[in-house]
Chain A
Amino acid sequence: MSVEKIPVKKARPNDYTSEHHPVWCPGCGHFFILRALTKALAWLNLDKENIGLVSGIGCSSRLPAYLDVYGFHGVHGRALALASGLKLARPDLTVIAAGGDGDGYSIGGNHFIHACRRNMDITYIVMDNEVYGMTKGQPSPTSAPDWHSKLAPKGTGLARFNPMGIALASGASFIARGFSGDPNGLTKILTEAIEHKGFSLVEIKSPCVTFRPEQKDWHHAMRLMNVTLTANPMEAAQAIYGSDGFDTGIFFQADMPVYEAEAANEKPHSDSASMESIEKALLV
């Protein structure tokens, strides 16, 4: 008997997976994030044709290929710029941006700050493994200053980028940290983030088993879903800066003004994204 015969009314996680199977390194945390995302989408029963998933470059940015929703594998660090444009043109879509710590916090660092500031209704999933894995192990903005590797002997000596603190200071209205090794808790966070009206940062600790094999120990270090949700930025700042990076849960969620197409004093035309209008605009 096949799974399709289960008499359930709602969508199933497998409905959102594409025909392409992921080829991340076995043991990589990204597998569990992909699955948690499909489970969140299924729980929310979202129509596949109304989801836009945009990514940058890197291992984690392969995500759109593995989901059966509209996807755009974009330019390095520009996932949020693309996602912002998509949301402005099609405010009816559920827009999700995904990428890694290098893509989002280094190459795309400026886009990250201003996406938080605009507080558009976008969910931003950052799969943070503290390393550039795809290019074989360079330190990323979230690597510890003393992380020693062949490519950075004795470490970079640079303080870590604090994405959650910067998101809070820049105006993001939903800030959470998840762990790929906690599929249930992560699904809950992603569900809340997608439902939230405004910019949602979901920073996910996701071990790179190939270039940071010591990150397998994160499984023992993480404190799962132990954070108290607050809408007070001061309390959130205390929780974020008081955390050693191993607490998970929703740190901050507040009802704040959202930048929408209407706010730009120009409602999107119904045909603004049609091929015909694009071709017309390109004709000199």
Chain B
Amino acid sequence: MKTHPFLKTHNKNLAWVLAAVNEMIEESIYYCDTFSHTLQAHHNEAAAAIFSALSPYFKSEQAIVLTKLPEQDLPNIPPWEIPHQDYEHPANSLMQAHYLMTEHEAWSIVNDIIQIHHCFYRDLLANTSQQEVIDLITSLQTHCLQCEKICATKKLPAKTDEDNNPLDDLDAPVAQS
């Protein structure tokens, strides 16, 4: 596999881990809040509520990181840096959003964002021997598992095509070739 041009390959110490994880969670919070707002503006209150409900969970995940920050002088991470080869930006799953999205789709997207966090934590654990990094990541993973459980509990069954009534949307997009 071709190595990503902006891949971070060395000096992944605690300060870098804190900065990188904080960046990732901050992105998730920003997009949850932003998409909650825009879904509300587009009168999809049900999907908006899901994004706004998850935002506090990401904020408490960030709080785990923030408690460590006063002890560390954080490096300035270039915003284009990729923390690991398989890294996906939390925003990527949001490209599947649309203004008529169902609650099921909203939960799926939120779950994808949690999986992106998980994937990063797994990579960090697999490539570190520093006990303080392991301790931090373990607590973040535990938090992620709780979020996953919430998603699994609340995720509704997918809508079938028969359930989709075109009259639900009076201003539906035109089917394109």
Point out the residue from B31, B42, B66, B95 that lies within 8 Å of A6, measured CB to CB.
Answer: B66
Report if A22-B34 is in contact (Cβ < 8 Å); known contacts: A7-B73, A184-B81.
yes
Q: Does A160 contact B (CB under 8 A)?
A: no
Q: A60 CB to closest chain B CB, in angstroms?
A: 15
Q: Does B157 contact A (CB under 8 A)?
A: no
Task: Please give, as numbers and ranges, the residues of chain B lying within 8 Å of A27 by CB-CB distance.
Answer: 94-99
Q: How far is the CA of A170 from the CA of B27 in the complex (A)?
A: 38
Count: A-B pairs, CB below 8 Å: 131
The B75-114 residues at the A interface (CB cut-off 8 A) are 76, 78-82, 89, 91-92, 94-99, 101
Task: Please give, as numbers and ranges, the residues of chain B lying within 8 Å of A24 by CB-CB distance.
Answer: 38
Q: A110 CB to closest chain B CB, in angstroms?
A: 30
Point out the residue from B6, B26, B174, B177 that lies within 8 Å of A185, measured CB to CB.
Answer: B6
Q: Is the CB of A210 within 8 A of B177?
A: no
Task: Please give, as numbers and ranges, the residues of chain A lying within 8 Å of B76 by CB-CB distance.
Answer: 8, 10
Minimum CB distance partner of A17 in chain B: B30
Q: How far is the CA of A22 from the CA of B33 in the complex (A)?
A: 11
- How many chain B residues touch A (CB < 8 A): the figure is 46
Task: Please give, as numbers and ranges, the residues of chain A lying within 8 Å of B44 by CB-CB distance.
Answer: 26
Q: Does B152 contact A (CB under 8 A)?
A: no
The A18-45 residues at the B interface (CB cut-off 8 A) are 21-27, 29, 31-32, 35-36, 39-40, 42-43
Q: How far is the CA of A259 from the CA of B40 in the complex (A)?
A: 46
Q: How far is the CA of A216 from the CA of B101 in the complex (A)?
A: 14
Q: A10 CB to closest chain B CB, in angstroms?
A: 6
The B14-56 residues at the A interface (CB cut-off 8 A) are 22, 26-27, 30-31, 33-35, 37-39, 41-42, 44, 47
Binary interface encoding of chain A residues 158-193 relative to chain B, with 1 for a CB under 8 A from any of its CBs, else 0: 000000000000000000000001111101100100
Q: Is the CB of A225 within 8 A of B5?
A: yes
Q: Does B63 contact A (CB under 8 A)?
A: yes
Q: How far is the CA of A184 from the CA of B33 in the complex (A)?
A: 20
Q: Does B166 contact A (CB under 8 A)?
A: no
Show 22 A/B contacts (Cβ-Cβ < 8 Å), sorted by A. A5-B70, A7-B72, A8-B74, A21-B34, A21-B38, A22-B38, A26-B47, A26-B94, A26-B101, A31-B34, A31-B35, A32-B91, A35-B31, A43-B79, A184-B79, A184-B89, A185-B80, A191-B79, A209-B95, A209-B97, A216-B95, A225-B6
Q: Which 5 A-B pairs have the closest CB atoms?
A: A188-B80, A27-B97, A39-B79, A26-B97, A21-B37
Contacts from A to B (Cβ < 8 Å): 1, 3, 5-8, 10, 13-14, 21-27, 29, 31-32, 35-36, 39-40, 42-43, 137, 147-150, 181-185, 187-188, 191, 207, 209-214, 216, 219, 225
